[in-house]
Copies of this chain bind each other. A is one copy, B any other.
Amino acid sequence: MKTFFEIVHKEKTARTGRIFTPHGSFETPAFMPVGTNATVKAMTPEEVKETGAEIILNNAYHLYLRPGRELVKKMGGLHKFMHWDGPILTDSGGFQVYSLAPLRKIDPDGVTFRSHLDGAEHRFTPESVMQLENDLGADIIMCFDECTPYPVTPEYAAQSVDMTTRWAERCLQTHKNENQALFGIVQGGIYPDLREISANDLVALGFPGYAVGGLMVGEEKENTWDICKTVCDILPENAPHYLMGVGTPEDFLNGIACGIDMFDCVVPTRLARNSHFLTWNGRVSVKQAQYREEERPPDEQCPCYCCRNYTLAYIRHLFLAGEILASRLATIHNLTFFQQFMKRCRDEIAKGTFFEFSQNFMTHMKI
């Protein structure tokens, strides 16, 4: 059997490693830029690669609605469709369906929901989502789960964990494509006992990788990391651990300390389009008047195309004029910064100084 995940360095619970897929391998801890509609907003795939990203995430729910799984399949799958030849992960739509709260109805067999685009009724079941993710053709795919809101009663959360496990089992039974690694998703809200049940149940089913879902949905950050740690301690060490929908550099440090290997988040791309640059020296909100005549780039140490070639004064002008290039430059920078940050974390783990670096960063930096 081919190796899917190998651990390279360890420092206490933090680790670096490599995940192998049919479209190449990627180093962990990894940050995956989000390409909701089969495009990382404002970027070409070549530019995404130049930021250092080795894997991207696409949203199964969005692609199901538009352009539809059949079209993507007909066009040769996501890689060919969007001209990205590296690894792709698709989420299962569980989180998007959760976000549609007033528009969806959950039953033990699946979820009936209305499209956020046109209100048309659709239905997802574990089986239909496996079909969807198989047609999209990503390298890593996610089980269909229920992402519970915060707050949620322990009774509801317990029932939901039970259902998510049964759905995971159905996903596993349906999934036949050996080119796709299917990950289980641990749920259970902020209840450690439910998280333990969920994690143990999924581990018993046996997946090549596991995700921690249902966090960062409004709970206290303290709860987030307690739960994350609880789950990672149960998950097999030799499988990758993916913390879904997270986050900021500070979150990465906390997650990596728990034993997380993969992250994804819209933060860098969304903040970019709203004119915010994330740097080692903090956040630069370029529309501020203080940058009107600033001849320096967003970050003088940054190796990205934006920082090498443009002044804050020019970028500010582009944002005020509503120019597309503004979003492009900011996205290039933010994604590069996130990749640089992740690389720094990997390097620190390799040196055995990650926890020191982390403490130092959190004491002195606020991004």
Contact = CB atoms under 8 A, between A and B. Distances in A.
Given A44-B325, A324-B324, A38 B293 contact: no
Contact of A318 (B37, B305, B327): B37
Contacts of A75: 293, 295, 311, 313-314
Contacts of A42: 324-325
A310 B43 contact: no
A66 B309 contact: no
Closest 3 CB pairs of A and B: A42-B324, A37-B321, A67-B317
B324 A67 contact: no
Interface residues of A, number: 34
Contact of A39 (B37, B71, B318): B318
Given A83-B310, A309-B83, A292 B323 contact: no
B314 A66 contact: no
Interface string A237-259: 00000000000000000000000
Contacts of A292: 67, 71
Interface in A296-322: 305, 309-311, 313-314, 316-318, 320-321
Nearest to A45: B309
Contacts of A74: 293
Given A317-B37, A317-B38, A71 B293 contact: yes
Contacts of A350: none
Contacts of A311: 75, 81
B41 A323 contact: yes
Interface in A268-310: 292-293, 295, 305, 309-310
A43 B325 contact: yes
Contacts of A321: 37, 39, 66
A292 B68 CA distance: 11
Q: How many chain copies does the complex carry?
A: 2
Given A37-B323, A43-B325, A75-B293, 9 more contacts: A37-B317, A38-B314, A39-B318, A42-B325, A67-B317, A75-B295, A83-B310, A83-B314, A324-B328
B293 A325 contact: no
Contacts of A314: 38, 75, 81-83
Contacts of A293: 71, 74-75
11 contacts: A37-B317, A38-B314, A39-B318, A39-B321, A39-B325, A41-B324, A41-B325, A44-B325, A67-B292, A67-B317, A324-B324
Contacts of A39: 318, 321, 323, 325
A272 to B, nearest CB: 11
A219 B320 CA distance: 36
A310 B44 CA distance: 11
Contacts of A328: 44, 324, 328
Nearest to A294: B75
A38 B325 CA distance: 11
Contact of A313 (B66, B71, B318, B323): B71
Interface string A23-40: 000000000000001110
A199 B87 CA distance: 63
